[in-house]
Structure 1
Amino acid sequence: MNTYPPPRVLEFPEVHYPEGYRSTPVIGGNFGITAGLPKLEDIIEWQEGRRRFTRGYYRLVEGPQLFQLQQGFSKHFSVRHAVAFSSLQSGLLELLELLFNRFEEMRLKVIHDHFDPEFSSLVNTLQSLRRPVSYFPSNLENPLQTVDPGKQEVLLIVLKEPISWIRNHFDLLKTASIEKIPTVVFTVSFKELESFPENADYWVTSLASYDDGTALNGGIVLGNKDRQMTELREIRKKRGNVLSLRNASLMMGDLRVSGKLLSPKIEPRNSTASKQQVLERLCHLEHAEHGLLYPSGMSAVSSVISLLRRPDKPKVIVIGLLYTDTYGFLESTYRGKKDTALYLKTDDIKVLEQYLDDQTACILTETITNPLLEIPDLETLGQLARKYQIPLVIDNTLATPINCRPLDWGADLVIHSTSKYLSGGNDHGGGAVLFRKEHWKWSFEHHHDQWGLDPWEPEIQILQQNLENFEERMLRFNLNGDKVAKFLKNHPEVEKVYHGSLVQKKDLSPKWLSGFGSVVSFTLRSGDLESLRQFYDHLPAPLLKAPSLGSNQTLVCPYALLAHYHEPSSFFEYHGISKHLIRLAVGCEHDLDPIIGALEEGLNQTL
């Protein structure tokens, strides 16, 4: 394989966080996916922009390994911003989506000088944009003459020797800058350039490395435009195509050794035995025939929505208050438009039919909603979806296939955050999409390859190990959730408890649901912020004060303050959610008495 001799050694010095960062206890080991938030004031300061953390939920807070990797690239190439992604493709496409989605109509113009297999793969990747793309050979006398300043356009430079071309076309690129035409340089190795390309706005390149015979592929976007690069970080959070801390650590080790840095392929395929075994296991659990793994649960959610939603079918009908980041992704601008999602309550299913039309991309809900633990009528949704031939997408993370198999009840696509119950150890980040119908197979695999969404072998192996005792753990999760829900319901300092076991009588329980999981939400009798502070701040061990769920160890957080702090009062009124709602993600501990004792101690502080 080809290698590129480095002009300078890429270094990753010890991380020194700027002023305002606070260290928090990590949960799940060195590559843990969440971290503790000991005091309520920590959360309020973070939400108001007065505090930043060195650790947190892995998709939302850049942990030290990722921070160090990005900082190393930023310093090496003397740019203000470096944002790493799970793959080269996702980095490029996320940037282009950011530049495109401000406008309904926009065109990409690619300047190239070669048609080799790598470039062909890039062409395949760009097709996923569903935007007009034009290709121009670099040997044109004036390759920018076709750029129309009256139209919104992006210029993508894909050349084997981009620096010399850029220098020879200095005046043309300066004109493009004046006309506010973004210029993106794309290379398949960061070693192709010694410095950030002059007159370019962004540089997208590869982080590909090689560890113990296992290919690791990632991408990074470099740039100096503060607002756009900050927005790009936010998009990475929403879409979930984040580089895991485990793989960031492996990469830093490999990137220091030039002999291990390979010329990457734009379209890597991860066909490891571990991946196949994990997919077979998940398909068996969900009664599915096909499946794909993703870098995170939100990567799975955003990929499904992006694939199903098209310009002529922009509408997504959402049933119930779903996970906050699903909500946030749907609220993002789509091709210059907002408000492309329609939100219905779970008891509005009876009027759903009047909203189904030829512009509907899909119906989206969760088997058990997060955080209010509502249970949508899956049977009716399946019947309506079949009647109107509209895809029914179910996030089955909270129920898991032990309690529900949505494909048996009419769902077309089932989504999981494999970081939660399926893993349980707080040491793995990932997601999955599972389905039966053959006609989904090609489109989803094609989109998956275009975006480079295969997780890497180290993450898959952790999931594989954690899945070994999943069924046994899930039975304890169910039992523990029921026990804690009953304890809270009977406690005088608790106003309301949300859990399926409390609202469903045995003879009236949904036939598609055999258990209710271990997430329990509740509100305090007093209901004010100070009581919440007294409860939360004084919770003792073994309770862990941190976001996430499906953890083998019990986690607790003031969910509404974490997820919906900036929402207006009308949001809380419409969805029937208290701003001081507490979410308890009960673990699968064999002895639950210490957990209940800790809850008792915290509740006593509110007297």
Structure 2
Amino acid sequence: MKFGTKAVHAGVAPDPSTGAIMTPIFQTSTYVQEAPAKHKGYAYARGANPTRNTLQQSLAALENGKFAICFSSGMGATDAVIKLLNPGDEVITSNDLYGGSYRMFKRVFEKYGIKFHFTDLTHADNVKPLINNKTKLFWLETPTNPLMNIVDIKAFTDIAKKNNILVAVDNTFASPYLQNPLDLGADIVMHSVTKYLGGHSDVIMGALVLNDEKLYQELAFIQNSCGAVPGPQDSFLVLRGIKTLHLRMERHCINGRKVAEYLKKHPKVGKVYWPGFSDHPNHEIAKKQMRDFGGMLSFTLKDDSVEKANKLMVSVELFSLAESLGGVESLISHPASMTHASIPKEERIKSGLVDSLIRLSIGVEDHEDLIADLEQALGKV
């Protein structure tokens, strides 16, 4: 089945009680049982909800997985993965990680005895000196947020299998439309469903997708026991958003390319980070593991001035200055003070995330209007 057909149909069937073509919102906290411990698969909504179950089936299908588990946020999904570990275990992850993940790893889980190594993952061999018998997880992002670095998923899964290490991939930037990490050997795929999967800036949600049943049972236990579950209304909204995922992503990719090419030629722009450029680090790997290059990019100005970057960000008219990404509307943000403010400045600078870096989430508007907006804003700096 082709992706567009899966987006519309996979995991979804007409409601058997009414024939409704859209999965209903089962807005209930509990379910009447026929007798003690005898029910139709539903007892209490923290454990299961029909709307959420349908969404989980859809997400599993989109990622070519067997199981999916939804959480109340992307961080809730990330939290569940780290809860698979024990004190003394070690995690290897990127040194240009999403700021929220960095904050959770350093300020929440390190105090429980889990050790995190933050290193350059653009070359898989970089992790070999860090691996020991306590290494239990590779946590990968690709493309990374916000420097758009590409991590070779297959290379890491090959290393992981030789060392009995789990591989989890944050696939938020790519979405299942562009990249399927399970097909490359990953054990777990994480999504901030808030972003491209929801697609309309109206939902907070996370998800994990996987194939291994034992691992699924462990994560489902954590989901139910710790309770970070999404509500049926949010599940309904994401189900609706998924039906147009392929259409939206196609436009995000077209617009992302047009804007990236425009910025690269602009005399006031310094470096543009977008994996579709042939000179982007690991571009060939991106071509191999992705179907296109997405609508996320970041850039600096030649005059590497925070003041001028700020001036540009408040001068745009179509782009909205806001955190998050992946919605139909275009957003502009300042990672150093917004999404990555929790990372110490010296760590940010070492990984290349300078104070003047600007991140764009390119929406589905007409690309000529987006370029005109950037042109007039750049003219003011």
Q: Which residue is equivalent to 1:444?
A: 219
Letter in 1 for 2:302: R
Q: Which residue is equivalent to 1:204?
A: none
Kept in 2: contact 1:385–1:410 (CA 8 A): no
1:292-322 C-alpha deviation (Å, 9 max, x unpaired): 0000011101111122x20242x11103411
Kept in 1: contact 2:271–2:300 (CA 8 A): yes
Q: Which residue is equivalent to 1:366?
A: 141
- Counterpart CA distance in 2 for 1:364 and 1:461 is 29
The reply on whether 1:293 has 2:293 as its aligned counterpart is no
Q: What TM-score does the superposition give when structure 1 sets the normalisation length? A: 0.54
Q: 1:387 to 1:554 in 2, by over 3 A?
A: same
Q: 1:342 to 1:213 in 2, by over 3 A?
A: closer
Which residues of 2 match residues 173-212 of structure 1 at below 5 A? none
Which residues of 2 match residues 344-493 of structure 1 at below 5 A? 344-493=119-268
Q: 1:596 to 1:216 in 2, by over 3 A?
A: farther
- Counterpart CA distance in 2 for 1:318 and 1:448 is 23
Letter in 2 for 1:278: L
The reply on whether 1:517 has 2:294 as its aligned counterpart is yes
Q: 1:504 to 1:401 in 2, by over 3 A?
A: farther
Give 2:372's match in structure 1, choosing from 597, 602, 606.
Answer: 597
Q: What TM-score does the superposition give when structure 2 sets the normalisation length? A: 0.85
The reply on whether 1:215 has 2:28 as its aligned counterpart is yes
The reply on whether 1:343 has 2:88 as its aligned counterpart is no
Letter in 1 for 2:66: E
1:349-370 C-alpha deviation (Å, 9 max, x unpaired): 2131222222112000112100
Kept in 1: contact 2:87–2:113 (CA 8 A): no
Q: 1:566 to 1:471 in 2, by over 3 A?
A: closer
Q: Which residue is equivalent to 2:20?
A: none
Letter in 2 for 1:390: I
Structure exhibiting the larger radius of gyration computed from Cα positions: 1
Letter in 1 for 2:304: G
Structure 1 counterpart SS, 2:336? helix
Quote the sequence identity (%): 28
Kept in 1: contact 2:87–2:114 (CA 8 A): no
The RMSD of aligned alpha carbons is 2.2
1:102-142 C-alpha deviation (Å, 9 max, x unpaired): xxxxxxxxxxxxxxxxxxxxxxxxxxxxxxxxxxxxxxxxx
Give unpaired runs (5+ residues) of structure 1: 1-211, 218-264
- Counterpart CA distance in 1 for 2:43 and 2:71 is 17
Q: CA deviation at 1:454?
A: 2.5
Letter in 2 for 1:548: S
Structure 2 counterpart SS, 1:583? strand
Structure 1 counterpart SS, 2:289? coil
Q: 1:336 to 1:496 in 2, by over 3 A?
A: closer
Q: Which residue is equivalent to 1:557?
A: 333
Q: 1:504 to 1:293 in 2, by over 3 A?
A: farther
Q: CA deviation at 1:520?
A: 0.9
Q: 1:484 to 1:458 in 2, by over 3 A?
A: same
Higher relative contact order (CA 8 A, sep 6+): 2
- Counterpart CA distance in 1 for 2:217 and 2:344 is 42
Kept in 2: contact 1:267–1:452 (CA 8 A): no
Q: CA deviation at 1:570?
A: 2.3
Alignment length (residue pairs): 344
Which residues of 2 match residues 27-46 of structure 1 at below 5 A? none
- Counterpart CA distance in 1 for 2:55 and 2:260 is 32
Letter in 1 for 2:312: F
The reply on whether 1:531 has 2:344 as its aligned counterpart is no
1:380-414 C-alpha deviation (Å, 9 max, x unpaired): 10101111110001000001111110001110000
The reply on whether 1:323 has 2:323 as its aligned counterpart is no
Letter in 2 for 1:384: I
